[in-house]
């Protein structure tokens, strides 16, 4: 006898098909998807495709900044290859300088002539930081790649005065001493500072605070964020660690009126054990499953924090910004491996795609997200080795999904078989949809099952489709990677396997793949 089980997944619904209690053993499974183009939802803020670049390991030094005199081709000190790659995926916003680094950072150490800047120990991540990449280098970098700016303020060891002077230095247009100092240091016009984070992980490395205490500290700092009238700054409160909804609830109750956004940090640890996180490349199907299951958990996490926010802010004025997320594995083995350096496989790509789907399903509340991190750190877009650079599978998901930036989200129902490993089952297909400003509809389809292809039938309601094209990313194995010697092993290819008949699109998704359809 057949039975059906319905699950809610990332704002979509998945159907598990059982036969005598077992998942149907098929080599080619079938899924039904309905896209409600007739019921447009919230705008997908481009900033959910944001990045995080912390001053640690080779994230900044070597990864972005090599200095003007480097033999590595550069634009005023920024790696040319990295700048071009980041521009190509339209990075909408960059968060800097941390992370934990931010709460020990003194912005005055990072301005003025570079050869006069002090060298400090990086107490959070090891090594020294010579402050060669400071405020000017960050703000100019963001301008160069066309991204908005998000600065994490030092609350842990700093003061409201240091914060307000930093903001004045960056944004003042008049003749104040700080504006003049900025001009003397080479920048005439003020920069646009888009977001300030009032501390980072205040429950942990930011000062081990309890939520009620931090709520008051937040109120104090937020009072002194003086933005120029024409250049507003979004104030982001340091939010919860994973499922700590009590943190969100306390902040909303005590400081909600002064908060523009609350952050959320959540990392996916393949083994679930922070002391032994698992390898980025040497893993089997058990950790493929546990990692994707961890990524899917983001939906429930967001839903729970949103429920707490809804109590105080039913009109959704305040955003939930997931400003650190991604897979965190053990660092790559090796004596000289920079801090938090890990490889990036097809598993990272599929996990990122599922997470981005979930953000889009919550587009009415999630208005920024920053993957950790941009270059050479954790789940990076880009890896570098001296003059060489490679684009990771995660980069290519951001490339495939850039069509969703600024699109209108479209509700989507997914009825798909479960993918099962041992006693664990998750939806075999995950999806998201959006309509861009030109009227084109984009549907992303992720096949999480590493063994079975899935033939999907996509029905579009409220749209007459005339043409469908696509791009697809997969790899030879779940742990397929790009290396400096073989940098193109995992990269997108054109997808011409979709057919259109009577308004229904049929496409076969190969196992462990991400496909994005473009429908006109
Ligand atoms: O991204 C690495 C670290 O993870 C950040 O510095 C911190 O905020 C988080 O714990």
What is the full DSSP assignment across 41-103? --B--GGGGEEE--SSTTSSBTTTB--TT-SS-EETTEEHHHHHHHHHTT--EEEES-SGGGG
User: What torsion do the CA atoms of 243, 244, 249, 252 make, to the nearest 10 degrees?
Assistant: -90
Homologous superfamily of 46-406: Glycosidases (3.20.20.80)
Q: Is 54 in the pocket of ligand 1 (CB under 6 A)?
A: yes
d(CA 471, CA 509): 11
d(CA 236, CA 360): 20
300-350 per-position pLDDT tens digit: 999 999 999 999 999 999 999 999 999 999 999 998 999 999 999 999 999
d(CA 163, CA 167): 6
d(CA 96, CA 141): 11
Residues 6+ apart with CB under 8 A from 6: 13, 14, 15, 16
| pLDDT score recorded for residue 366 | 98
Find the helix packing angle between 135-145 and 80-88, rounded to 10°: 50
| pLDDT score recorded for residue 228 | 87
Task: State the closest ligand 1 atom to the C-alpha of 98, by its place in the atom list counted from 1.
Answer: 6
Q: Which of 519, 513, 502 is nearest to 480 (CA)?
A: 513
CA dihedral sign of residues 477, 483, 488, 492: positive
| pLDDT score recorded for residue 48 | 98
CATH 2.60.40.1180 residue ranges of the chain are 2-42+409-519
CA distances from 174 to 161, 182, 193 (A): 19, 11, 16
| pLDDT score recorded for residue 335 | 84
| pLDDT score recorded for residue 151 | 98
What is the full DSSP assignment across 195-237? EEEE-S-TTTTTT---HHHHHHHHHHHHHT----TTS--EEEE
Task: State the closest ligand 1 atom to the C-alpha of 200, by its place in the atom list counted from 1.
Answer: 8
d(CA 465, CA 188): 51
- 2-42+409-519 in CATH: which number? 2.60.40.1180
d(CA 164, CA 198): 11
Q: Is 103 in the pocket of ligand 1 (CB under 6 A)?
A: no
Whole-number Å distance, alpha carbon 443 to ligand 1 midpoint, is 32
10-62 per-position pLDDT tens digit: 334 343 332 232 333 345 789 999 999 999 999 999 999 999 999 999 999 99
Residue ranges of the chain whose pLDDT lies below 50: 1-26
d(CA 296, CA 424): 13
| pLDDT score recorded for residue 230 | 87
Is 324 considered catalytic here? yes
DSSP three-state, residue 337? coil
Please check whether residue 389 is in contact with residue 376, taking contact to mean a CB–CB distance below 8 angstroms: no
Find the helix packing angle between 160-171 and 211-223, rounded to 10°: 40
| pLDDT score recorded for residue 343 | 98
213-257 per-position pLDDT tens digit: 999 999 999 999 999 888 899 999 999 999 999 999 999 999 999
Q: Going by CA atoms, what residue is nearest to atom 7 of ligand 1?
A: 99
- How many CA atoms lie less than 13 Å away from 221 in the CB half-sphere? 28
Active-site choice (54, 137, 168, 324): 324
φ and ψ at residue 273, rounded to 5 degrees: -120, 115
CATH 3.20.20.80 residue ranges of the chain are 46-406
d(CA 499, CA 507): 7
Q: Is 323 in the pocket of ligand 1 (CB under 6 A)?
A: no
d(CA 352, CA 292): 9
Q: Which of 243, 160, 233 is nearest to 203 (CA)?
A: 243
């Amino acid at each position: 006898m057949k039975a059906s089980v319905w699950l809610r997944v990332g704002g979509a619904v998945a159907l598990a098909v059982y036969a005598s209690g077992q998942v149907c053993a098929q080599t080619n499974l079938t899924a039904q998807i309905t896209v409600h183009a007739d019921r447009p939802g919230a705008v997908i803020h481009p900033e959910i495709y944001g990045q995080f670049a912390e001053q640690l390991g080779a994230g900044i030094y070597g990864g972005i900044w090599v200095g003007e005199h480097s033999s590595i081709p550069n634009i005023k000190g920024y790696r040319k290859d990295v700048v071009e790659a980041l521009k190509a995926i339209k990075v909408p916003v960059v968060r800097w300088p941390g992370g934990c680094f931010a709460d020990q950072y003194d912005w005055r150490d990072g301005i003025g002539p570079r050869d006069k800047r002090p060298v400090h120990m990086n107490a959070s991540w090891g090594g020294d930081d010579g402050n060669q990449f400071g405020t000017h280098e960050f703000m100019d970098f963001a301008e160069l790649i066309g991204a908005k700016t998000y600065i994490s303020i030092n609350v842990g060891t700093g003061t409201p005065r240091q914060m307000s002077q930093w903001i004045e230095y960056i944004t003042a247009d008049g003749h104040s001493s700080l504006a003049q100092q900025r001009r003397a240091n080479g920048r005439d016009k003020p920069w646009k500072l888009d977001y300030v984070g009032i501390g980072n992980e205040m429950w942990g490395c930011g000062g081990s605070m309890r939520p009620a205490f931090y709520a008051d500290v937040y109120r104090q700092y937020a009072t002194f964020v003086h933005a120029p009238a024409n250049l507003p700054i979004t104030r982001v409160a340091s939010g919860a660690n994973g499922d700590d909804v009590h943190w969100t609830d306390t902040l909303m109750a005590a400081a909600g009126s002064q908060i523009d956004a609350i952050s959320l940090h959540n990392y996916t640890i393949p083994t679930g054990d922070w002391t032994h996180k698992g390898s980025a490349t040497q893993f089997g199907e058990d950790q493929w499953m546990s990692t994707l299951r961890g990524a899917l958990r983001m939906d429930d996490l967001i839903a729970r924090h949103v429920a707490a926010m809804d109590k105080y802010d039913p009109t959704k004025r305040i955003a939930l910004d997931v400003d650190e997320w991604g897979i965190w594995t053990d660092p790559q083995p090796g004596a000289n491996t920079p801090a938090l350096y890990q490889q990036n496989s097809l598993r990272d790509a599929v996990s990122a795609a599922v997470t981005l789907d979930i953000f889009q399903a919550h587009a009415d509340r999630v208005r920024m997200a920053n993957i950790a991190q941009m270059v050479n750190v954790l789940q990076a877009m880009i890896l570098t080795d001296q003059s060489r650079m490679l684009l990771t599978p995660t980069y290519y998901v951001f490339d495939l999904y850039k069509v969703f930036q600024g699109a209108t989200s479209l509700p989507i129902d997914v009825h798909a078989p479960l993918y099962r490993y041992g006693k664990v089952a998750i939806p075999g297909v995950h999806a998201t949809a959006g309509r861009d400003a030109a009227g084109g509809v984009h549907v992303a389809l992720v096949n999480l099952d590493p063994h079975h292809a899935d033939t999907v039938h996509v029905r579009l309601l409220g749209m007459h489709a005339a043409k469908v094209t696509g791009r697809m990313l997969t790899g030879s194995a779940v742990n397929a990677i790009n290396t400096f010697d073989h940098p193109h092993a995992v990269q997108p290819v054109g997808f011409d396997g979709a057919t259109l008949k009577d308004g229904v699109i049929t496409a076969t998704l190969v196992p462990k793949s991400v496909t994005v359809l473009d429908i006109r």
